[in-house]
Structure 1
Amino acid sequence: MNDNVVDLQTAWLHNGFGVANDVPSLLQAASDAGANTVDSKLFYYEAYEQEIETDGWSIDPSGWRPLTAAPSAGVETAVVPPEASWLTALIGYDVVVFGDYLEHSPLSCNSIAGEAKVNAHCLFETLEEAQAAIANGVFGGGCEDGVYQIFSVSTVEVEAGA
């Protein structure tokens, strides 16, 4: 568990996906919050272009719709992908719940990872596995209500001096 997590939503620095637009913005927010970023890991997220809404009990697999931005975004969504010279590694796919903002991952927060096939990072290996878990009701039965979105999760190693 890392206690040096910067809460971009409290600082109103999150975009329509609930995260920072770029590395410099994230590092500035960390500095402003007094967070120690030495030996920190950065993660880069990409959102799947569709989302699905649930009442927490059941999910209609035909209910996929185009992705919508979080209404509470504090900054314009203008994502800057990692520089080509930075090392990135895809570590899996997460299913996250949105209400008015990015809330959390039911895989870990609701112990769904105990029922679903996940990797060592508590993530699905593929987008198709995440989609299938949603379609097959893994997140039903009283899990979480809200809008479910799928994010790819990659680690990022920023080039020295960047």
Structure 2
Amino acid sequence: MIPLGYLYKQVASRPEWLKAAQVTDIYSLSNCVSKDFTDYVRYWKHNGYWLFDSPDIIAEIVNDASLSMEQQKLFYYEAYELQYDEDAQTWSKFTPELSFTTEIATPKNRRLEGFDITSFSLGNAPECSPLSCNARADELLTNEHCLLGSFEEAKAVIEQGSFHRCEPGPYRIIAVYSVGDVGDSGLG
């Protein structure tokens, strides 16, 4: 797995249209259900994976823009080093956007919450997570956060075509970690 970076999100409860009873909330990387802390791209402080190298960089945006961080949760993300092209049915490497500095500080305290699958048709900007956005969790076994339980399971459901035509790909397997509360980045 390769480090992608950090993001604060306002975690949403399971939407009514998602019928997966085991899901209580959505921890996906996608901004579709659980919203990002702000429309952060306009600040141009993200890294080459369109996330943040450290929580401190996010804190600069929050302070400069006087944003409220109430009910925000800090996440740290890693990705399988290959992405899946559904049409070609092949895995290929991807890299960060080289025009951005990408020097990710690894959190010393993090908790693996599960594995998301996210579409990246626009390069490195994360788009949709079919488990939640396309309600694939209604048919696939996920945990309470609408994430898959293992990397192996995530890879298998992609290769089996479980997300066929859900979103334009490629798809990446994302390890989703929670990192403390607001103000407690867990960096060491």
CA deviations on 1:38-64 (whole Å, 9 max, x unpaired) are: 453210001111111235xxx61xx01
In structure 2, the partner of 1:149 is 172
Deviation at 1:35, TM superposition (A): 2.2
> Is the partner of 2:85 in helix, strand or coil?
strand
RMSD after superposition: 2.4
Question: Could you report, residue by residue, the CA deviation over 1:98-129 in whole angstroms, capped at 9, with x for unpaired residues?
Answer: 12221121211111111211100000111111
Check if 1:9 corresponds to 2:34: no
**Counterpart in the other structure of 1:43:** 75
TM-score scaled to structure 1, two decimals? 0.80
The aligned counterpart of 2:7 is none
Separation in 1, partners of 2:67, 2:102: 24
Q: Report the AA paired with residue 68 of structure 1.
A: T
Q: TM-score, normalised by structure 2?
A: 0.70
Query: Which whole-Å CA distance do the structure 1 matches of 2:116 and 2:35 have between them?
Result: 21
CA–CA separation in structure 1 for the residues paired with 2:185 and 2:62? 18
- Between the two proteins, what is the percent identity of the paired residues? 35
Please give the per-residue CA displacement for 1:65-109, whole angstroms capped at 9, x wherever unaligned. 11233x5x7732211111x2xx32110011111122211212111
Segments of 5+ residues of structure 2 without an aligned counterpart are 1-11, 13-33
Whether contact under 8 Å (2:37, 2:72) holds in the other structure is no
1:121 aligns to what?
145
Unaligned runs of 5+ in 1: none
Number of aligned residues: 150
Write the letter of the residue equivalent to 1:92. G
Shift of 1:14: 2.4
Q: 1:41 to 1:74 in 2, by over 3 A?
A: farther
What is the letter of the counterpart of residue 78 of structure 1? E
Distance change (3 Å), C-alpha of 1:159 and 1:76: closer
Aligned residue in 2 for 1:95:
117
Q: Does 1:24 align with 2:24?
A: no
Q: Distance in 2 between matches of 1:3 and 1:153?
A: 15
